[in-house]
Amino acid sequence: MIDANFDAEKIRSEFPMLVAGDKEAKPLAFLDSTATTQKPACVIDAMDDFYRKHYSSVKRGVYRLSARTTEAFEATRKNVAKFINAKTEDEIVFTRGTTESINLVAWSYGRKFFEAGDEILISGLEHHANIVSWQLVAEMKGAKIKVIPVLDNGDLDLNAIPTLLNARTKMVAVTHVSNAVGTVNPVAEIIKTVRAAAPQAKVLIDAAQSSSHIKIDVQKLDCDFLAFSGHKMYGPTGVGVLYGKYSVLDSMPPWHGGGEMIKNVTFEKTTFADVPARFEAGTPMIAEVIGLGKAIEWINAVGIENIRKHEEEITQYALEQLTQIPQVKVLGNPKERGALISITLDGIAVSDAAMILDEENVAVRSGHHCAQPVMDRFGVDATLRLSFGAYTLKSDIDRFMAGIKRVLRLFG
């Protein structure tokens, strides 16, 4: 049950974009939270406060403004560590987003440790960021990529995983929640399988679509790496997180060079800083990190379990409405679904449907969602995706359904 204090209408009122939309003739129904979430006022205010009242760089000055900013910046690192139950804040690296986090691992760990003939295991549900990054380093090192197949309902074929693992497996990189189907992968079970069958392999979890929906405990999961983005969890764009076990991060070389990631520089040789500074070259995204910290505080205050329960109710309500329309086909029927649904419409281009919905001020995503192999697996070019957040109301779904019925009248 959702906590009695959880009030989606009240939560919605904390989001300036949604409040502003409510004043229009057609209120905004924002159903694209998988792509990016709207931002609560507390996040916007925290970043504005930084720029107006204590703007300065971090770690580079003894003056009070810099000390205050550094304190706020590092407080976010501690908050992130607590949010995912890392052992220490030194296991938290700030990046520009999930994509950069995965690339960091691929180009640092992969460049150092992969050898010709090694294998990288990914799944058939991956976002391009968790495919292309590994393809690039595999080509450079002569490694091979294997893929966990996807069943017709959208779940991974878990029985196939042990057959794909062997002594040459160096990395297993799997999404927690599919951004195209909505499948919630049993990552804890997958990690246990990897530990038993290929103990030498490292495991990376792409948590871009789970960090704001599902409680994550990296110590219980026993993953080596976990990556997520601020903008998908009610925080700003341009900031993300890479969690890594300290011993693993400490074995990895830097992948960017510059200021702050060094211990000593001469023209002959450079020695590098300890983790995590080794991976944070240059002036960081200070305002964005502060905004991320405030977003995590907001999620904690609302309760991630409450958010998940609310989204489950909204998702079920939407599925019930959609399955009543014969022309609508839902992509996949996984055992556990995240806060998104992808559909196709018989004989109607999803891009046309998205434009008609936009006329009704209903925001949805159409396309391949940076997951073209998923589209290929299900024999479609693109889908119409509606996705939800803490602020989504059943009335938003009603608005969407009214828009779909208009689409069917116009194109059916």
Active site residues: 370
Which amino acid is it at 370?
Answer: C
Distance CA(55)–CA(151), nearest Å, equals: 51
Indicate the DSSP class of residue 89. G
- The encoded tokens of residue 9 equal 């209408």
Residues 6+ apart with CB under 8 A from 1: 309
Cβ atoms 213, 234 nearer than 8 A: no
Element spanning 340, H or E: strand 340-345
The CA-atom distances, in angstroms, between 140 and each of 150, 204, 223 are 27, 20, 25
Q: DSSP of 226-253, one letter per residue? A: EEEEGGGTTS-TT-EEEEE-HHHHHTSP
Element spanning 46, H or E: helix 41-53
- Residue 131 CA to its chain's centroid (Å): 15
Indicate the DSSP class of residue 403. H
Q: What are phi and psi of 3, to 5 degrees?
A: -55, 140
Distance CA(187)–CA(329), nearest Å, equals: 27
Cβ atoms 132, 101 nearer than 8 A: no
Q: DSSP of 267-308, one letter per residue? A: SS-EEEPPTTGGG--SS--HHHHHHHHHHHHHHHHH-HHHHH
The CA-atom distances, in angstroms, between 356 and each of 317, 351, 366, 407 are 22, 9, 12, 7
Distance CA(17)–CA(28), nearest Å, equals: 9
Residues 6+ apart with CB under 8 A from 284: 58, 73, 94, 260
- The encoded tokens of residue 80 equal 């992130």
